[in-house]
């Protein structure tokens, strides 16, 4: 079974900001979403990702999921 191409996935393309300092973390890019200058952390149990804000070090949930 073939996996869908990135263009076929329906992802919400909305910017995400840090709730503490309002720094832009996720911005729309040419081919999807871009996580700006952050350290990523993925939960082994759920596969959900968080990005560490480069300014205030708060963990912000990002719309990425790790799939095997």
The predicted structure's pLDDT at residue 1: 47
- pLDDT digits over 27-37, tens only? 888 877 888 88
pLDDT tens, 1-15?
A: 444 444 445 555 678
Q: Which residue has the higher pLDDT, 43 or 1?
A: 43
* Structural domain contains residue 1: no
Global pTM reads: 0.67
In a domain, 57, yes or no: yes
Q: What residues form DSSP beta bridges with 34?
A: 27
Residue 51 inside a domain? The answer is: yes
Q: Is residue 2 part of a domain?
A: no
- By the 8 A CB rule, do 27 and 38 touch? no
pLDDT score for 33? 80
Domain hosting 49: range is 14-65
Residue 7 lies in a domain: no
Domains: count for the chain? 1
Query: Is 42 inside a domain boundary?
Result: yes
Specify if 41 maps to a domain: yes
């Amino acid at each position: 079974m073939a996996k869908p191409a990135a263009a076929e996935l329906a992802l919400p393309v909305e910017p995400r900001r840090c709730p503490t300092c309002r720094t832009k973390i996720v911005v729309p890019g040419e081919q999807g979403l871009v996580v700006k200058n952050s350290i990523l952390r993925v939960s082994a149990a759920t596969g959900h990702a968080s990005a560490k804000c480069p300014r205030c070090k708060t963990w912000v949930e990002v719309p990425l999921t790790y799939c095997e």
